[in-house]
Amino acid sequence: MPTLTKKQKQILDFVKVFIKKNGLSPTFEEIGRYTKKTFSTVHEHVEALITKGFLSKINNSSRGIQLIEQSEMVKIPLLGTIAAGQPIEAMQVKEVIAVAKNLLPRQGSFFALKVAGDSMIDENINDGDYVIIKQQSNAENGQKVVALIDNNEATLKKIYKEKNRVRLQPANKNLTPFIFNSSRVAVQGIVIDVIKNPTSHTNITFKEEKQVTSTDRAIYKFEDLKNILGKPYFETANCLIYNMDCINAMQKIKNSVIDLTVTSPPYNIGKEYESTIPVNEYVNWCKQWMNEIYRITNESGAFWLNLGYLEFPEKAKALPITYLLWDKSPFYLVQEVIWNYGAGVAAKKFLSPRNEKLLWYTKNPENYLFNLDDIRDKNVKYPNQKKNGKLRCNPLGKNPSDVWQIPKVTSGENRSSKERTEHPAQFPEALINRIILAASNKNDVVLDPFLGSGTTAITALKNERKMIGFEISENYCKIAKQRILALLESQKQNKLI
């Protein structure tokens, strides 16, 4: 039997329930609304289900998804109700339930339990569902198990063995784990599958299709953002800065409005503005805000992500964070750009790092903006060289390539950059200037969800773009505000002159 990921199983269960309830297949849009995933992500999972033999699809039909019958049905005992909440007794009831034969491994004893409670909802196990259990007395850390407590009460949880204790962990961020001495907990079996209960999905409804026109879509403008997000920390005619968490902020924006995102998140290396967390938690956090950026980006928009290095415990001293994040969003990766600089950390037991990475993403791999002429390098060795009477080089300059040599913003006595602020990890304006010129046009909306010292805002405003920034530190918001006010005053004086 082909194995399914948690998300593929969720989509397959939804399709089954939807067809049983409505008599026809769901559209990709309806699957996306239920799973809270983008069209491209839903398409990827459906294609995987087709490849694995669970679904088929009729081309040129929005409701062309079809279930493929997997195998004959077999009956296994339904022993009662299991708690996915507080431990309750698993009642012995003489009933049976029919399941597809290919859901079961070839060897072993199996039984089913009906789920009561919501402590396993993050594993797509809901109240009223049925879990198929393989009977066994041992389990690996992280497996979903039926655990018997004090030979009396049974519960459905993830199990973790910790020295002389056992932690029974809910899959619900709002609930706390149960911790017992090892002698009090006996594993009765592990979960091998979940059968969804159609009556537990009362929110699944068929929505009649209609032709969608441009007037049906809610299209946000920059001016709408203030009404959506509330009063900003600081604002100008073309700039909004919010002192708030970027994920919370972006979740309030329901439709696409951003043309270009340029940002550099915390690297999880212990800077003053961050607390280090386990690498897997860091990656999951990054996935959250990267997916939010994708959701609110216009169809022809772009995302430029600056990343450095982190230490991976027992694996790597200086692991490029790009290796961990490059495929963790629905964006299409155009290419990696190397930002090379002179100043940096000195080292004795390894090579001194002198580069960071820039990942250039687009939402649409075929339709995106790239203003090459605006960023051409005028430093051409032989600008007037000709071949067959024609200039060999573009008179505007050469392509700057995928290695950019741009100085860092340095600190220290007699070496501090003119644009230096109190922020410990500041973008150089020259770097952001090249990105903004290449990937946006005048009056486009630029986002920096980790605004920091405000370099993205400064550069966007200098190039006549509209700017929105989120920054969780009020002190950094203050720095950005001061820099923007100084820019506006300078522009005002230049106009007077």
DSSP-assigned states of every residue in 47-83: HHHHHTTSEEE-TT-TT-EEE-----EEEEEEEEEEE
The angle subtended at Cα 474 by Cα 468 and Cα 475, nearest 5°, is 110
**Token pair belonging to 448:** 């920096």
Q: What is the mean pLDDT of residues 314-319?
A: 91
Q: What is the mean pLDDT of residues 476-490?
A: 95
Return all residues near 303 (Cβ < 8 A) that are at least 6 apart.
260, 261, 290, 293, 294, 297, 329, 331, 359, 360, 361, 362, 363
Give the number of residues written for the chain: 497
Lowest average pLDDT, out of 148-152, 304-308, 309-313, goes to 148-152
Instruction: Give pLDDT tens digits for 29-53.
Output: 889 888 888 877 888 888 888 877 7
Mean pLDDT, rounded, of the chain: 85
Which residues, listed in sequence order, are joined to residue 340 by a DSSP beta bridge? Answer: 355, 405
- Active site amino acids: 119, 157
List Cβ neighbours of 143 (8 Å cut-off, separation of 6 or more): 158, 159, 190, 191
Q: For the stretch 43-53, what's the b/e string if a residue is b when 16 or more beta carbons lie within 10 angstroms of its beta carbon?
A: eebbebbeeee
Complete domains list, the chain, with CATH:
6-67 (1.10.10.10), 80-199 (2.10.109.10), 215-496 (3.40.50.150)
Question: Is the pLDDT score of 293 beyond 60?
Answer: yes
Query: Which of the four pLDDT bands, split at 50, 70 and 90, describes residue 410?
Result: confident
Question: Which pLDDT does position 213 carry in this prediction?
Answer: 34
In this predicted structure, what is the pLDDT of residue 124? Answer: 81
**Alpha helices of 90-245 — where are they, by DSSP H?**
225-229
**What SS3 class is residue 495?**
helix
Looking at the whole model, is its pTM more than 0.75?
A: no
Quote the CA–CA distance of 23 and 78 in Å, as a whole number: 28
**CA–CA dist 423, 452 (Å, integer):** 7
pLDDT range class, residue 199, cuts 50, 70, 90? low
153-173 tens-digit pLDDT: 888 999 999 888 999 999 888
Evaluate whether 49 touches 82 at the Cβ level (below 8 Å).
no
Looking at per-residue pLDDT, the higher value among 146 and 386 belongs to 146
Q: Which has the higher per-residue pLDDT, 227 or 71? A: 227
Nearest to 360 by CA among 331, 329, 325: 331
Residue 257 has pLDDT above 70, yes or no: yes
pLDDT (0 to 100) of residue 102: 64
Category of 231 on φ-ψ map: left (φ > 0), alpha (ψ -120 to 50) or beta: beta
| Residue 244 confidence (pLDDT) above 60 | yes
Q: How far is 429 from 407, CA to CA, in rounded Å?
A: 10
Token pair for 8: 């593929």
26, 65 contact by CB (below 8 A): yes
Residue 202 pLDDT > 80, yes or no? no
Q: Hey, how many other C-beta atoms are within 10 angstroms of the C-beta on 307?
A: 21
Query: Stretch 394-415: mean pLDDT, rounded?
Result: 86
* H helix intervals, 212-359: 225-229, 246-252, 279-295, 322-325
pLDDT at 89: 45
Burial class, 434, CB count within 10 angstroms (exposed 0-12 / middle 13-18 / buried 19+): buried
If one counts every other C-beta atom within 10 angstroms of the C-beta of residue 112, the result is 22
Residue type, 115: V
